[in-house]
Amino acid sequence: MRSAPLLAMRKRVVIADDHAIMRDGLRALIETDEGIEVVATVENGREAVDAVRTHSPDLVLMDLAMPYMDGLTAIRELTRRGVSAKILVLTMHKTEEHIRAALQAGASAYLLKDASRAELLMAMRTVLAGKTYISPAVADRIVTRYLDRDGAGAVRSLSDTLTMREKQVLKLIAEGRRNREIAEALFLSVKTVEKHRANVMRKLDLHNIAALTSFAIENNLVSP
């Protein structure tokens, strides 16, 4: 038995995820609602931007970690173009930095991939109604971080977890330097640079250059 329509009028949706099984599963899941029409499924941010231009959807379900153009870059590009489509981020990333960056870029919702169908549809309803939705699974994390203050009462940033050397390496990575160039600039071995790089990615839970660059800009380590 099909569920009641998401909204009175049929809504057009684009799904952007680099895993075919995820795209197919999402299409099958949300199209059980008669109020939704999936007009395109794409596998990277570049294709998502093109699909929005071609299909003029009401909503985009956007993964963050995708090849060629990551989801965060795609959101920024869509925002820059002034598209009317709402963007619901659907990802496995749980850090405050990912959430804040996505919302600042223009996303209207942030949902984890392990969410139930009911929560997904609720998030879609909320976004299509012009409101913001953040999954309770990560909302508590944000609240906890803002309540977790140091002795001076300032909110601690994830960048505070990096050593000075790790910040230097992150800055140079964000500037487009290769490991050998970073090693020469900081008078380190390439192996040491690789270790610092791995530590930065692990501590920040960021796993590609675009995400590291975005984090560095937002934390004033480099200029945009």
pLDDT tens by residue, 60-81: 999 998 988 999 999 999 999 9
Residues 6 or more apart in contact with residue 198 via CB below 8 angstroms: none
User: What is the reported pLDDT for 5?
Assistant: 56
More confident residue, 134 or 89: 89
CA dihedral 134, 160, 70, 202 (to 10 degrees): -100
Instruction: Please state the φ and ψ torsions of residue 168, each to the nearest 5 degrees.
Output: -65, -45
Q: Residue 139 — very low, low, confident or very high, per pLDDT cuts 50/70/90?
A: confident
Residue 149, SS3 per DSSP: strand
pLDDT of 89 above 60:
yes
pLDDT digits (tens, 9 = 90+) for 157-191: 555 678 888 888 988 888 888 899 999 989 999 99
pLDDT digits (tens, 9 = 90+) for 9-50: 789 999 999 999 999 999 999 888 888 899 999 999 999 999
Q: In what order do the strands lie in the sheet with 133-134?
A: 36-42, 11-16, 59-62, 86-91, 109-112, 133-134
Tell me which of 2-6, 95-99, 166-170, 183-187 is least confident: 2-6
Q: Residue 110 — very low, low, confident or very high, per pLDDT cuts 50/70/90?
A: very high
Run of H or E residues at 60: strand 59-62
Q: Residue 98 — very low, low, confident or very high, per pLDDT cuts 50/70/90?
A: confident
Cα 119 to Cα 111: distance, rounded to the nearest angstrom: 9
Cα 177 to Cα 173: distance, rounded to the nearest angstrom: 5
Domain 11-143 fold is Rossmann fold (3.40.50)
Cα-based distances in Å from 212 to 42, 160, 197, 221: 24, 15, 10, 11
**Which range in 134-138, 154-158, 200-204 is most confidently predicted, on average pLDDT?**
200-204
Q: At what angle do helices 209-218 and 164-174 cross, to 10 degrees?
A: 110
pLDDT of 99 above 60:
yes
Mean pLDDT rounded to a whole number for the chain: 83
Residues 6 or more apart in contact with residue 188 via CB below 8 angstroms: 182, 196
pLDDT of 219 above 80:
no
Run of H or E residues at 55: helix 45-55
Cα-based distances in Å from 69 to 48, 50, 107, 129, 190: 9, 12, 16, 28, 27
Q: At what angle do helices 164-174 and 190-204 cross, to 10 degrees?
A: 90
Domain ranges of the chain: 11-143, 158-218
User: What is the reported pLDDT for 25?
Assistant: 93
User: What is the reported pLDDT for 77?
Assistant: 94
Are 89 and 64 contacting, i.e. CB atoms less than 8 angstroms apart?
Answer: yes
CATH number attached to the domain at 158-218: 1.10.10.10
Instruction: Please state the φ and ψ torsions of residue 86, each to the nearest 5 degrees.
Output: -80, 150
pLDDT of 202 above 80:
yes
pLDDT of 88 above 80:
yes
User: What is the reported pLDDT for 224?
Assistant: 53
